[in-house]
């Protein structure tokens, strides 16, 4: 899995040997997909990322929607990565189908 983190876009592209993401009884495919994106970003030095359900941070979204964010989300340079089209498609299933997905990146200072 190749993850490119740009200013406002996180591009995730498939590589040979990447797993296929499936919806199970306890999680959407997007949940496992975000876990793998997090692991790839940790390899590049982003060790302060957590995967969390957005509603637990006070966002008014679907209770199952998850995102990646820096551990403390209150300083310049802190950011979150999310599927901006969550209500339209599951990013994990789209990644299986297309071989790439664009995720949105939002920075604290932009809020």
The conformation of residue 74, written as its DSSP 8-state character, comes to S
Per-residue pLDDT tens digits for 60-84: 888 788 999 998 777 777 899 999 9
Instruction: Please check whether residue 37 is in contact with residue 1, taking contact to mean a CB–CB distance below 8 angstroms.
Output: yes
Question: If you average pLDDT over residues 91-108, what whole number do you get?
Answer: 95
Domain ranges, residue 96: 2-110
Q: Say how many domains are in the chain.
A: 1
Question: pTM, whole model, 2 decimals?
Answer: 0.90
Per-residue pLDDT at 8: 93
Q: How many CB atoms lie within 10 A of CB 53?
A: 15
Rounded distance, CA 108 to CA 111, Å?
A: 6
- What is the sign of the dihedral through the CA atoms of 41, 37, 105 and 53? negative
State yes or no: pLDDT of 18 exceeds 90. Answer: yes
Instruction: Pull the structure tokens for residue 95.
Output: 């990644």
């Amino acid at each position: 899995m190749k993850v490119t983190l740009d200013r406002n876009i996180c591009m995730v592209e498939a590589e040979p040997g990447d797993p296929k993401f499936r919806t199970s009884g306890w999680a959407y495919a997007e949940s496992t997909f975000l876990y793998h994106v997090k692991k790839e970003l940790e390899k590049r030095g982003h060790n302060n990322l957590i995967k969390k359900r957005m509603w637990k941070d006070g966002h008014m979204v679907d209770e199952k929607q998850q995102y990646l964010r820096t551990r403390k989300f209150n300083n310049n340079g802190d950011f979150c990565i999310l599927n901006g089209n969550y209500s339209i498609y599951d990013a994990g299933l789209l990644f299986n189908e297309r071989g790439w997905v664009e995720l949105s990146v939002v920075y604290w200072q932009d809020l």
